[in-house]
């Protein structure tokens, strides 16, 4: 098992060095043939060449490497018939990977059969310049196709380009509604061990089954996307982290009970998830995507059928935010408080202040629904909706942990103060009040949000 993980880490390292390098899979058993392609495609044009001398091994390499191009030496198939390539050809066609077949004999029937399967057929005596020209032409054609599609051909799930578009849509919606969205990174547990035991093809089947399972288990408004080789990203609009984590716990439990039929028999698996919620519309698509995968320094043993809170990994290095809402029908008091409280937060907080003449205007502004910490300074007596009604609504219809409420009242009576506390006020001030005392009390309340 340790060997499998070490091999997997080595493969990941190798892959990271080839991210921007074109990968060419060569099906061949002729050293001279391979040397020719290595010389003119690898050394002269920077492509990476990987060789297999049989179709089963070539298909394993396909699932392992996801090549950009496949070259086949016809000598391997002339005796057994071209039908032996059906599996590899189908895999290439499904994934828009060009196939080039090299012929070293003038067999018209074989040539016609090759033309029916391949994107290009050349002579084994082709000039290097023509070879490179044809390969690059087919790769450009492939890139044009990939630029147009939004589905990952390996899994049938939305692809990375589609994910980028969806995140941009969610960030734009966040600017308008102030309602957070969550994203979840999911990945099959112990995939290197599955690949080591059963092969890359069955490992890929398990990844594909996970994608299909999640796709069939989510709301119409939710969406799933392929993310890198082994994982997926689930986008949950207007969903806070806590609700997303509850969903993933249920899905993990259900998936663990499933069994899948493969060429190696029945297998099962588990997956783990990393959940983040996003509430800052100023974040970029790239920043959101960077946060998604499991941390590289996290032990694999810690990721077994579990749900991780990924938000904590990046909130600690960003400013905590505090929204201050002033709800008072006296314009002078609103302006005075806005001015006096601009610097109330210390360096650990980024503060935003908004003022409202009554409770109805406050609740009509989507700003108050953001998944942030709020400090509300509420006047007791107001038209339309008074302070006690505002308190009642906050404490009964919202997450009370996120809203600190301070009541301002001109009624200096134990009964009035008791009523405010019972309705959910964290503190109260009697008008007229000292600005110095008000700031001291607010700072005391803020310290409770750390």
b/e map 130-159, b = 16+ CB within 10 Å:
ebbebbeebbeebeeeeeeeeebbbbebbb
Q: Could you give the domains of the chain?
A: 21-148 (3.40.50.2300), 160-315 (3.30.70.270), 320-447 (3.40.50.2300)
pLDDT of residue 446: 78
Question: For 349-391, what is each residue's pLDDT tens digit?
Answer: 788 999 999 999 999 999 998 877 899 999 999 988 989 999 9
Six-digit token string for 318: 């960003």
Please compute Rg for the chain using Cα positions: 31
Give dist(CA 255, CA 206) in Å, integer. 11
| Neighbour tally for 448: CB within 10 Å | 9
Report the candidate in 191, 186, 209, 193 with the shortest Cα–Cα distance to residue 262.
209
Q: Tokens 């179709």: give the residue.
A: 55
Handedness of CA 147, 151, 154, 157 (dihedral sign): positive
Report the candidate in 299, 271, 298 with the shortest Cα–Cα distance to residue 188.
271
Question: For 240-269, what is each residue's pLDDT tens digit?
Answer: 899 999 999 999 999 999 999 999 999 999
Q: Is residue 173 helix, strand or coil?
A: helix
Q: Where are the beta strands (DSSP E) in 203-317?
A: 223-227, 231-236, 260-262, 265-267, 271-278, 307-309
**Please, which residues have CB within 8 angstroms of residue 255's CB and are 6 or more apart in sequence?**
210, 213, 269, 270, 271
Give dist(CA 361, CA 363) in Å, integer. 6
pLDDT of residue 77: 66
| Neighbour tally for 381: CB within 10 Å | 14
Q: Which helix (H) or strand (E) holds 378?
A: strand 373-379
Question: For 148-207, what is each residue's pLDDT tens digit?
Answer: 999 999 999 999 999 999 999 999 998 888 788 999 999 999 999 999 999 999 999 999
| Neighbour tally for 64: CB within 10 Å | 19
pLDDT of residue 316: 44
| Neighbour tally for 127: CB within 10 Å | 11
Count CA within 13 A, CB hemisphere, residue 135: 26
**Please, which residues have CB within 8 angstroms of residue 217's CB and are 6 or more apart in sequence?**
251, 254
pLDDT of residue 167: 97
Question: For 390-421, what is each residue's pLDDT tens digit?
Answer: 999 999 888 777 899 999 988 777 788 888 88
pLDDT of residue 4: 47
Residue 6 reports pLDDT greater than 60: no
Average pLDDT of the chain to the nearest whole number: 86
Contact, 441 vs 448, CB < 8 A? no
Task: Grade residue 450 by pLDDT with cuts at 50, 70 and 90.
Answer: very low
Contact, 70 vs 25, CB < 8 A? yes
Burial class of residue 310 (count of CB atoms within 10 Å of its CB; 0-12, 13-18, 19+)? buried
């Amino acid at each position: 098992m340790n060997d499998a993980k070490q091999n997997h880490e080595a493969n990941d390292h190798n892959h990271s060095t080839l991210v921007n390098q074109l990968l060419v899979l060569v099906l061949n058993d002729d050293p001279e043939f391979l040397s020719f392609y290595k010389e003119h495609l690898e050394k002269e044009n920077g492509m990476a060449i990987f060789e297999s001398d049989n179709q089963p091994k070539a298909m394993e390499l396909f699932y392992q490497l996801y090549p950009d191009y496949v070259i086949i030496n016809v000598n391997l198939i002339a005796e057994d018939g071209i039908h032996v390539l059906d599996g590899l050809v189908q895999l290439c066609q499904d994934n828009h990977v060009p196939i080039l077949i090299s012929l070293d004999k003038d067999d018209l029937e074989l040539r016609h059969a090759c033309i029916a399967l391949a994107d290009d057929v050349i002579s084994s005596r082709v000039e290097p310049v023509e070879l490179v020209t044809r390969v690059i032409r087919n790769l450009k054609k492939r890139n044009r196709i990939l630029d147009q599609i939004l589905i990952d051909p390996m899994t049938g799930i939305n692809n990375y380009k589609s994910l980028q578009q969806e995140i941009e849509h969610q960030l734009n919606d966040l600017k308008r509604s102030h309602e957070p969205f969550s994203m979840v990174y999911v990945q099959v547990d112990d995939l290197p061990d599955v690949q080591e035991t059963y092969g890359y093809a069955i490992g890929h089947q398990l990844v594909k089954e996970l994608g299909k399972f999640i796709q069939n288990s989510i709301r119409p408004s939710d969406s799933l996307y392929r993310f890198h080789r082994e994982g997926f990203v689930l986008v949950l609009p207007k969903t806070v982290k806590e609700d997303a984590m509850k969903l993933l716990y249920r899905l993990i439990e259900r998936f663990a009970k499933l069994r899948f039929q493969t060429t190696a028999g029945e297998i099962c698996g588990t997956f783990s998830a990393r959940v983040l919620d996003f509430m800052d519309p100023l974040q970029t698509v790239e920043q959101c995507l960077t946060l998604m995968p499991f941390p590289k320094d996290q032990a694999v043993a810690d990721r077994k059928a579990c749900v991780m809170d990924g938000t904590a990994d990046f909130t600690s290095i960003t400013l905590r935010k505090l929204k201050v809402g002033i709800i008072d029908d006296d314009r002078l008091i609103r302006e005075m408080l806005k001015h006096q409280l601009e610097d109330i937060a210390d360096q650990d907080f980024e503060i935003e202040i908004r003022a409202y003449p009554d409770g109805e205007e406050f609740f009509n502004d989507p700003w108050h629904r953001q998944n942030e910490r709020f400090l509300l300074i509420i006047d007791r007596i107001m038209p339309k909706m008074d302070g006690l009604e505002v308190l009642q609504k906050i404490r009964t219809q919202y997450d009370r942990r996120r809203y600190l409420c301070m009541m301002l009242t001109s009624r200096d009576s134990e009964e009035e103060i008791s009523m405010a506390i019972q309705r959910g006020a964290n503190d109260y001030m009697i008008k007229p009040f000292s600005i110095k005392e008000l700031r001291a009390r607010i700072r005391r309340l803020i310290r409770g949000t750390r």
